[in-house]
Structure 1
Amino acid sequence: MSEHIHLTPLHNISATDAAAWHRVVAASMARDLPGVPSPGPQQIHAELTKPTLDSHRLTWLATRTDGVAVGVAGLRLFTSPGRDHLAELELHVDPAHRRLGTGSLLLSAVVAACRAEDRRSLIVEAAADSPGEAFCEERNFRRALALDHLILHLDQLDEAAVLQAADAEHPGYRLTGWTGTVPDDLAAVFAAAKNAMNDMPVGDLDFGTVDWDADRVRAMARVIADRGDTLLTLAAVHDGGTMAGYTEILLPQGAPPRAQQYDTAVVPAHRGHGLGLWLKAAMVGRLRAEHPGVVEIETDNAEDNVHMLAVNHRLGFRSYRRTREFQLDLPAA
């Protein structure tokens, strides 16, 4: 049946293209990720049309002969030093049109683009024990990282435990926070703390490294704001002026009830003082005070990241699904 599917590279994405993309993603996620909210039409449009940080995106739409979209593929090509070998794939096929060759057609186009862009590593995430996982394994992707996804229901908190963690004394440290772009006086030390994420567990992924500086943290905040999302940050600042750690929460546009945990990191020299738990507990308090419409937070951790998993479990996060990161190695031609 694959000969009846037409692939269209999308260069100037129209509202019609974005709506078709949304329908495919929503159908795919409803089948493979029940209980996980799919991005809304406006989110999809923003993701497809707004600039990304240190990367560019290629997109394809797969349609039947009658013009109905049945599959989509988005390829993010990283461009910064340390990650310019890497590409990241998102691929969805409408469940009603699977096993007919559409996914293979899309993947062939993606792999050809990776080779043209001189990429050696293609990574993709798939729900554990899902059709996406089987698709990857059948096409020589290798399992590289297992992720545990957790949910914190804010109406089921152990109030006393969270309050105790948020109010715990940490001599020599103070909390500060902001919405959106980091204040100028903290930009450099925030960038230095961001570099602590380079030692997070990534399994066997050829993920590369990211070199953060003040300009890059400002650029990241602009990218998030431009697509209509809100980024909240809390940081622990040491008396000496360095930033010891931070935690970030993303509120997707449209004020949905589920917030997404972004980075949480503690700088190596400041680990062992309970700062991660303090920061995350304080962020829960901030969310409840400033964004009462948020009722749950989703996060994910590598299954071997035992320290952060322990912190999240202490706060009341509970595992609810698993995903796996797969990597396709693309030898040089």
Structure 2
Amino acid sequence: MSEHIHLLPLHRVSVTDAAAWHRVVAASMAHDVPGVPPPGPGHVHAQLTKPALDSHRLTWLATATDGTAVAVTGLRLFTSPGQDHLAELELHVDPAHRRQGTGSRLLSAAVAACRTESRRALITEAAAGSPGEAFCERWGFHRAMTLDHLLMRLDRTDEDTHLRQAADAEHPGYRLTGWTGTVPDRLADAFAAAKNAMNDMPVGDLDYGNVTWDADRVRAMAQVISDRGDTLLTTAAVHDDGTMAGYTEILLPRGAPTRAQQYDTAVVPAHRGHGLGLWVKAAMVRRLRAEHPGVTEIETDNAEDNVHMLAVNHRLGFRSYRRTHEFQLDVPAP
């Protein structure tokens, strides 16, 4: 029963705590989203111990009487001016220990922390049709957005003609550039300006706020990713006047990943309608194949109403394989 479960706030996460956290997450994901690779132990340890960008993290570990970890939850509290009303929840319960009230106790602890930290919106993600979706609905979260997850196999050849045509298409007045990790100083201001184009991405009914990017912030983001052992690749289209018109980012998790994760793709409003999004993404696929041949697939996700980017991804060869829902709980003021 739940009274035999101990909730422990983790003020400093040890190697043992991180390993226990990883075991719970891996068991939870294997049950709820089979076929989706869980984060590796090193990734989990870095996530729990390394600083995040413009946010801080609260964590709880739930253990049985014998000390075995049975559930975990993390609460990311955003701190930038445009998002300091917002918190993001991650909650996993080992399937062998569910339906005993542990998840509800962890959620109550997270909501109480949101009130203490004056957060009005708590968001989380759950796979469509999963126990997590039912849990969110039971506790009063409302569905705010649906995401379509897509995969692209890089070892297939039937889409290569489309990719080659997209990557080799001429775009007068624009040139491609790229980098690994931190943006070069000469491009930092232009990249930050382009980053602000992400503020008009579809977010459904989420009270997500917005973020203002500058050169220092894009450098800080790259440093956070590097510190946790991941690799960030960026390919961008630059206009003849020096404006960065669009870009795409790919994250390679630490180790030797076979699946890359799509990060941002954006085209600045003044440069839309020229096929630049398709161009930079096709160029990124070509770059991945050349520089990281061990990567065999890319995962991305798009809001289901982001019809333009979905069309771009399908044209490149991405195929839908699962859906998730973004949920939001409106937290009353204390």
TM-score, normalized by length of structure 1? 1.00
Q: Could you tell me how far apart the structure 2 residues matched to 1:127 and 1:93 are? A: 15
1:16 aligned partner: 16
> Deviations along 1:110-141, whole A, 9 cap, x unmatched?
00000000000000000001000000000000
1:180 aligned partner: 181
Report the AA paired with residue 14 of structure 1: S
Q: Could you tell me how far apart the structure 1 residues matched to 2:300 and 2:160 are? A: 20
Report the AA paired with residue 71 of structure 2: G
Q: Could you tell me how far apart the structure 1 residues matched to 2:80 and 2:20 are? A: 31
Report the AA paired with residue 318 of structure 1: R
Q: Does 1:254 align with 2:251?
A: no
Q: Could you tell me how far apart the structure 1 residues matched to 2:222 and 2:257 are? A: 20
2:108 aligned partner: 108
- Runs of 4+ deviating beyond 4 Å: none
Distance apart, 1:296 and its partner CA: 0.1
Report the AA paired with residue 283 of structure 2: A
1:325 aligned partner: 326
Q: Could you tell me how far apart the structure 1 residues matched to 2:101 and 2:144 are? A: 25
Report the AA paired with residue 38 of structure 2: S
Report the secondary structure of 1:311's partner residue.
helix
1:95 aligned partner: 95
Report the AA paired with residue 244 of structure 1: A
2:25 aligned partner: 25
Deviates more, 1:156-165 or 1:285-294: 156-165
Report the AA paired with residue 33 of structure 1: V
Alignment of 1:175-254 (within 5 A): 175-254=176-255
Q: Could you tell me how far apart the structure 2 residues matched to 1:139 and 1:202 are? A: 22
Report the secondary structure of 1:156's partner residue.
coil
2:148 aligned partner: 148
Q: Does 1:123 align with 2:123?
A: yes
Report the secondary structure of 1:155's partner residue.
coil
Alignment of 1:25-44 (within 5 A): 25-44=25-44
Task: Please list every run of 5 or more consecutive structure 1 residues that lacks an aligned counterpart in the other structure.
Answer: none
1:280 aligned partner: 281
> Deviations along 1:168-198, whole A, 9 cap, x unmatched?
0000000000000000000001000000000
Q: Could you tell me how far apart the structure 2 residues matched to 1:22 and 1:211 are? A: 33
Distance apart, 1:332 and its partner CA: 1.5
Distance apart, 1:155 and its partner CA: 1.3
1:48 aligned partner: 48
Report the secondary structure of 1:83's partner residue.
coil
Report the secondary structure of 1:332's partner residue.
coil
1:310 aligned partner: 311
1:300 aligned partner: 301
Q: Could you tell me how far apart the structure 2 residues matched to 1:188 and 1:279 are? A: 19
Report the AA paired with residue 198 of structure 2: M
Q: Could you tell me how far apart the structure 2 residues matched to 1:272 and 1:175 are? A: 17
Distance apart, 1:282 and its partner CA: 0.3
Report the AA paired with residue 325 of structure 1: E
Q: Could you tell me how far apart the structure 1 residues matched to 2:198 and 2:145 are? A: 16
Q: Could you tell me how far apart the structure 2 residues matched to 1:99 and 1:143 are? A: 22
Report the secondary structure of 2:310's partner residue.
helix
Deviates more, 1:155-164 or 1:171-180: 155-164
2:68 aligned partner: 68
Distance apart, 1:287 and its partner CA: 0.2
Report the AA paired with residue 166 of structure 2: A
Distance apart, 1:55 and its partner CA: 0.3
> Deviations along 1:198-218, whole A, 9 cap, x unmatched?
000000000000000000000
Report the secondary structure of 2:155's partner residue.
helix
> Deviations along 1:259-317, whole A, 9 cap, x unmatched?
00000000000000000000000000000000000000000000000000000000000
Report the secondary structure of 1:66's partner residue.
coil
Report the AA paired with residue 125 of structure 2: E
> Deviations along 1:203-247, whole A, 9 cap, x unmatched?
000000000000000000000000000000000000011000000
